[in-house]
Structure 1
């Protein structure tokens, strides 16, 4: 199998669209058909080794996009290539070069021990025994699989099964890994294990990762690039920092004082948001000045007991983005 060249995008999407026909009530006894665009003209280019967070509200088109990229759904229009292949007509070849983990679906054999599922997948993907053993060894160490390798999949906890799903998706060394809600429903320990494993995978740089999730902590810890989709369209494609800048998120400076002040200090470009702890704590927002400028200004005006800089919360930023008006349809 030949891969894409080092300078070629591993995922190339242009004007990708997926329409569904739905029936809506049009009177007491009649229903009419209406075309709904689940994905509405997406452009996306992903380079080898990138780790991308692909997020949006329910119904935004995230899972539909992944299904078109993996060859499960046929696009209504547009162009899509993954690993240099067109997903639907070349789905069999593509399956050998991608890994897929859907949080609500399993690729493991329910009644077999986890170890046997891995062995069956080795034969399905025709992975040489030595390569399979080496990759499985790495996954066992990073995901702590040894305690439940011989337990049937149906008896595993959700966290154990998800670690098994990740291993199953990676044993044939895919070029691209598609993850749809991989940490949904996991306990804290399992969630951290999955995040650490994916971070290690990203540092290696030989696997491209496209992650959809509602857990924004996954995005912050794993992905440098964030693609936000809403109403079937891309509304942001860039860094998390660029998202903060675009939607007006602000750093906060929290100043603790020995004694409350008769009147709080006034700082240009840093409004006082609130006063806490009976006036002994002041919270300022960095609007047109940097946090260091706010700290320096406070130090000149008041006696500080302690000071802290609070980074903006990506969840708040994305919530504001989702609340923005929907794109206006052309007339």
Structure 2
């Protein structure tokens, strides 16, 4: 059974239409002149226990609105939504015990208290047994490298330290599901890697189901095995990363360092896209010209001192997908 399931999910927001002329800005309690924005438009997907899914799209696509419905913050306009056997907005307390949430720049920690005190309060709030609380906290402190700032007030923590604290707080009571909304935004390289390691290990070792929204494609490349791409509130793609790359960016590049400098490498099944100082970039389609065959052909004709194959980056693939959709 899916742990998260949505069917024909819709969320609309209404606001009073702005008036023009002499009555501009005037609103009354009796006005029926509304304009409606559909932030989520007939979205359906299912997430199985233990999956780590990237939920991606441009700003305004409906990602955060979906997450807020999954957490019970917002009530859908229509459609079906089930999270671990619970209807989130109807059974908020039961739903809260099943989920952990990290919303980017918004913290669930107590601002003026030392970090350790926030953890103690969360442990009591969720009635975590003392031995389990201690074991979880010790593990998270080790993985996230929080030992040096456990007694520091949250307001004095750096953004990276606070985000690590928020992640630990979200998982102290062992929820089945972790929602991450831009968890690495604004962080340095070291803090990002700490968080990625934590999420990957948590998913691998405890089977925690993770739904991740982010604009950082390094997060997605590092963590996600499945992507759900949305735009204007609709699902455009739901599946593994590899087929998406094959469809929108089928070509790869073979980069060869030659013993003798040349401007063009003439090999059937490949095109020279760049040459510089004996290094040549060859574009090829692995469906038509397997990499091994291409390397053998180049080696037979030229003396190679080094080589590598580069894959298309996911950010470029997704950008191409959205641009292609806009041009229709």
TM-score higher than 0.5: yes
- Encode CA deviations 1:191-223: one digit per residue, 9 max, x unaligned: 111111111112114210001111111111111
CA contact (8 A) 1:52 1:211 kept: yes
Q: Take 2:99 and 2:79, find their aligned partners in 1: how far apart are those partners?
A: 21
Question: CA offset at residue 260 of structure 1?
Answer: 2.8
Structure 2 residue 50 is matched with structure 1 residue 49 = yes
Q: Provide the residue aligned with 1:321 in structure 2.
A: 321
Q: Provide the residue aligned with 2:284 in structure 1.
A: 286
Structure 1 residues 115-130: aligned runs within 5 Å:
115-130=116-131
- Encode CA deviations 1:274-294: one digit per residue, 9 max, x unaligned: 2222xx222111223222222
Structure 2 residue 15 is matched with structure 1 residue 11 = no
Q: Provide the residue aligned with 1:303 in structure 2.
A: 303
Unaligned runs of 5+ in 1: 1-7
Question: CA offset at residue 135 of structure 1?
Answer: 0.7
- Encode CA deviations 1:163-182: one digit per residue, 9 max, x unaligned: 10001000110000000011
Q: Provide the residue aligned with 1:99 in structure 2.
A: 100
Q: Take 1:183 and 1:120, find their aligned partners in 2: how far apart are those partners?
A: 25
Question: CA offset at residue 34 of structure 1?
Answer: 2.5
Q: Provide the residue aligned with 1:193 in structure 2.
A: 194
Question: CA offset at residue 261 of structure 1?
Answer: 3.6
Question: CA offset at residue 249 of structure 1?
Answer: 3.9
Over the aligned positions, Cα root-mean-square deviation in angstroms equals 1.8
CA contact (8 A) 2:52 2:226 kept: yes
Q: Take 2:77 and 2:297, find their aligned partners in 1: how far apart are those partners?
A: 57
- Encode CA deviations 1:67-119: one digit per residue, 9 max, x unaligned: 01110011111100001101100111110111000012111100111111111
Q: Take 2:133 and 2:263, find their aligned partners in 1: how far apart are those partners?
A: 70
Q: Take 1:169 and 1:262, find their aligned partners in 2: how far apart are those partners?
A: 56
- Encode CA deviations 1:117-171: one digit per residue, 9 max, x unaligned: 1111111111111111111111111111111111110011111101100010001
Unaligned runs of 5+ in 2: 26-32
Q: Provide the residue aligned with 1:149 in structure 2.
A: 150
Q: Take 1:167 and 1:257, find their aligned partners in 2: how far apart are those partners?
A: 50
Q: SS of the residue aligned with 2:109?
A: coil
Question: CA offset at residue 48 of structure 1?
Answer: 0.5
Q: Provide the residue aligned with 2:30 in structure 1.
A: none
Q: Take 1:307 and 1:146, find their aligned partners in 2: how far apart are those partners?
A: 43
Q: Take 1:260 and 1:327, find their aligned partners in 2: how far apart are those partners?
A: 41
- Encode CA deviations 1:246-285: one digit per residue, 9 max, x unaligned: 21242210112122347530322x22222222xx222111
Q: Take 2:326 and 2:261, find their aligned partners in 1: how far apart are those partners?
A: 45
CA contact (8 A) 2:262 2:275 kept: no
CA contact (8 A) 1:231 1:326 kept: no
Question: CA offset at residue 49 of structure 1?
Answer: 0.6
Q: Take 2:15 and 2:303, find their aligned partners in 1: how far apart are those partners?
A: 65
Q: SS of the residue aligned with 2:239?
A: strand
Q: Provide the residue aligned with 1:36 in structure 2.
A: 37
Q: Provide the residue aligned with 2:115 in structure 1.
A: 114
Structure 1 residues 104-253: aligned runs within 5 Å:
104-253=105-254
Q: Provide the residue aligned with 2:275 in structure 1.
A: 275
Q: Take 1:193 and 1:58, find their aligned partners in 2: how far apart are those partners?
A: 26
TM-score when scaled to structure 1?
Answer: 0.91
Task: Tell which deviates more after alignment, 88-97 or 302-311.
Answer: 302-311
TM-score when scaled to structure 2?
Answer: 0.92
TM-aligned CA distance change 1:65 to 1:34, over 3 Å: same
Q: Take 1:292 and 1:147, find their aligned partners in 2: how far apart are those partners?
A: 50
Q: Take 1:185 and 1:177, find their aligned partners in 2: how far apart are those partners?
A: 20
